[in-house]
Amino acid sequence: MERVYNFNPGPATLPVEVLREAQAEFLNFDNSGMSIVEISHRSKPYEKVHNQAKADILELMGLGDDYEVLFIQGGASLQFAMIPLNFATKEKPGAYVLSGTFASNAYKEAQNLGVGEIAASTKDENFKRVPRQDELKINPNAAYLHICNNNTIFGTEFHYVPETGNVPLFADMSSDMLSRPVDFKKFSLIYAGVQKNLGAAGVVVVVVKKSFVEKSLETLPTMLRYDTFYKKNSLYNTPPAFAIYIVGKVVAWIKNCGGLGEMERRNKIKAKLLYDAIDNSDGFYRGHAEKDSRSFMNVTFRLPNEELEKKFVAEALEKNLSGVKGHRSVGGMRASIYNAMPIEGAEALADFMDKFRKANS
Ligand SMILES: *Cc1c(COP(=O)(O)O)cnc(C)c1O
């Protein structure tokens, strides 16, 4: 069977080169006579994978050794809880920008602990845009400001880095991590569940200023403390070796392609193809996101009615365009065009959108 263009939001498409390499070396990894999932996480071949992935991530982000990369399990969803547990208190609460579902889920965890407050929200507008800088009400006493950089479900993205004064900036970049150059130095903590743009489910990449994670609250359980991961090079317990190995391959692939500038160039071409198909459709396709907030990663749009939306999904699949159905909370379509989606995939979808519109309007 031939491979489809996979527009799923996560788990999501991966570079075919990465899949081929993993396949080729699966039975005998690095001359060990074992696969990566059978080898000890204390062995030299594994350590090489682990440390190279960390180094490549920092290099791509242009960050120096005042930052550390941690590999943590539990998904981005566990970070929603670990962040307030480790950093927020009643006196110094965590401040949250509510720009979508995951941003709100992050806030809920802090709220449950009694240490969260809202700095801005676009919920009243059904999250069709991210808040502007002038709408952010940042408590100067906050432990951090938390944003979700790309709202996977609604298809909106921050195209500016919020100014926060002396308040540290934290970001969930699960769905746009390493998709373009960003001034990462402005962030104190960035995290990403890797199954969107960086690899196979099972690990979260946390990039954090070392000064933040040298010491955690003694009262926290070992596995919920950032300093456990920091002090032991994320090898306190058995790491998800296969997931980290794939992340290593994906970041090496990004470097080989030319880095984040090249990712941005490709991602902008893909996004433009799809947004043009929406904008040039005489209202047949209606984008969910306001233009200023449009995501380069997740393109969300509706059709004139649900009947046509069902038909669109079915006919797209016949053309090997898979995973275009939107999230139930927004409805309609969502095309996820992460780093690994080839430009030809976006061209094929844009072409299909055009033909479908002409046949059905
Ligand atoms: C998918 C996603 C999450 C949830 O990730 P899990 O790893 O499934 O917990 C959180 N934030 C964003 C932005 C996401 O896209």
Q: What is the pLDDT of residue 263?
A: 98
pLDDT for residue 1: 67
Pick the atom of ligand 1 nearest to 100's CA: 13
Co-location of 238 and 106 in the same domain: yes
- 114/253 Cα distance (integer angstroms): 42
Q: Give a yes or no: residue 115 inside a domain.
A: yes
Nearest-angstrom CA–CA distance, 277 and 342 = 17
pLDDT, the chain, mean: 97
pLDDT at 271 over 80: yes
* Residue 7 falls inside a structural domain: no
For residue 89, pLDDT beyond 70? yes
Single-letter code of the amino acid located at 236: Y
What's the CATH number where 244 sits?
A: 3.40.640.10
Q: How many CB atoms lie within 10 A of CB 48?
A: 12
Q: Range of 286's domain?
A: 258-360
Domain annotation covers residue 1? no
Tens digits of residue pLDDT in 126-139: 999 999 999 999 99
Mean pLDDT over 188-215 rounds to 96
Give the confidence band of 217 by pLDDT, cuts at 50, 70, 90.
confident
Distance of CA 324 from the midpoint of ligand 1 (Å): 18
Task: For residues 94 and 170, give the distance between their C-alpha atoms in angstroms, rounded to a whole number.
Answer: 10
The residue among 236, 257, 278 that closes a domain is 257
Helical axes 16-24 vs 241-257, angle rounded to 10°? 130
- Please list, in sequence order, all residues whose beta carbon lies within 8 angstroms of the beta carbon of residue 85, skipping any fewer than 6 positions away: 113, 217, 220, 224
213 pLDDT band, cuts 50/70/90, is: very high
16-69: per-residue pLDDT in tens? 999 999 999 999 999 999 999 999 999 999 999 999 999 999 999 999 999 999
Total structural domains within the chain: 2
Note the pLDDT of residue 252: 98
Cβ of residue 289 lying under 6 Å from some atom of ligand 1: no
- What pLDDT does residue 291 have? 98
| Mean local confidence (pLDDT), 288-307 | 98
Output the residue whose Cα is nearest ligand 1's atom 8. 75
203 lines ligand 1 (CB under 6 A): no
Q: Do the beta carbons of residue 11 and residue 195 sit within 8 Å?
A: yes
The per-residue pLDDT for 119 is: 98
